């Protein structure tokens, strides 16, 4: 069964350092999403791609966060510099325009 | 803006008890409604969905009915099992391929 892959699963970093997360969507899925899930809350969209183009990044803190999907397949989300408030689960999802399929997430802890 | 509100957790039930998790939404138009489940250490999985008023979504013994008049999509199961212990999220979506807007999640713990 096809799955969304994410790495790393866990990341611990110190504030002001740079971190990067990787996502490989289900093959053939044109739409890719990055969500952030703060402990005790529901996920919130950070950025949505259609192929290699950004469709929605209205909630992405662009002073420190960046996302790319250069070839319209896998994607990288970067934070530089990381802040204490960035500690959260970062979820990637991909869609066949019907259902969104989620990866296992990357749990980020910023010390 | 659009929002989803779920009942506070955690909810603790004995095995075979009846489950209800309340979900209400605020949105313009006619969104699609979803329930997702997150088991410990795993990503979110779609549990069920409904795309228009009065639709009933069902899966694995869980059910939810899209009630436009009360803007609700309550999750129910007649007899819960220990394996149902997880966090449940209610969500809405306006467009196919659009973003999901989630509630805060409700943790369910089922004791033997």
Q: Which of A42, A95, A105 sits opposite B97 (nearest CB)?
A: A95
Inter-residue contact A25 to A48 (CB < 8 Å): no
Inter-residue contact A97 to B96 (CB < 8 Å): yes
Taking CB atoms and an 8 Å limit, are B46 and A100 in contact across chains? Answer: yes
Residue B29 reports pLDDT greater than 90: no
Question: If pLDDT is split at 50, 70 and 90, which confidence band does B59 have?
Answer: very high
Average pLDDT for residues A20-40, to the nearest whole number? 95
pLDDT tens per residue across span B63-72: 999 999 999 9
A31 interaction partners in chain B (CB closer than 8 Å): 97
Q: Measured at the alpha carbon of residue A51, what is the angle toward residues A49 and A56, in degrees to the nearest 5?
A: 20
Average pLDDT for residues B26-49, to the nearest whole number? 93
Nearest Cα of chain A lies from the Cα of B65 at a distance, in angstroms, of 19
Whole-number average pLDDT of chain A: 95
| Chain centroid, CA A109 distance in Å | 15
Question: If pLDDT is split at 50, 70 and 90, which confidence band does B45 have?
Answer: very high
For chain A, the residues whose C-beta falls within 8 A of a C-beta of chain B are 4, 31, 33, 35, 40-45, 48, 50, 56, 91, 93, 95, 97-100, 102-105
pLDDT at B43: 87
Q: Which residue has the tokens 């998790």?
A: B21
CA distances in angstroms from B59 to A25, A54, A90, B34, B39, listed in the order given: 25, 34, 27, 12, 16
Residue A70 reports pLDDT greater than 90: no
Residue B1 reports pLDDT greater than 90: no
């Amino acid at each position: 069964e096809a799955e969304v892959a994410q790495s790393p699963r866990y990341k611990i970093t110190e504030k002001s350092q740079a971190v990067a997360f990787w996502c490989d969507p289900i093959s053939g899925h044109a739409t890719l999403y990055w969500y952030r899930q703060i402990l005790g809350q529901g996920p919130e969209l950070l950025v949505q791609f259609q192929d290699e183009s950004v469709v929605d990044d209205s909630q992405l803190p662009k002073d420190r966060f960046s996302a790319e999907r250069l070839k319209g397949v896998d994607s990288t989300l970067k934070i530089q510099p990381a802040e204490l408030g960035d500690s959260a689960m970062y979820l990637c999802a991909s869609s066949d325009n019907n259902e969104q399929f989620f990866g296992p997430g990357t749990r980020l802890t910023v010390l | 803006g659009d929002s989803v509100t779920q009942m506070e957790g955690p909810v603790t039930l004995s095995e075979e008890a009846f489950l209800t998790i309340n979900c209400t939404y605020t949105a313009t138009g006619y969104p699609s409604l979803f329930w997702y489940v997150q088991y410990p250490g795993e990503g979110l999985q779609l549990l069920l969905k409904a795309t228009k008023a009065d639709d009933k979504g069902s899966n694995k013994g869980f059910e939810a009915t899209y009630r436009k008049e009360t803007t609700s999509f309550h999750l129910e199961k007649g007899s819960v099992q220990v394996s149902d212990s997880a966090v449940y999220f209610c969500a809405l979506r306006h467009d196919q391929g659009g973003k999901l807007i989630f509630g805060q999640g409700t943790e369910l713990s089922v004791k033997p």
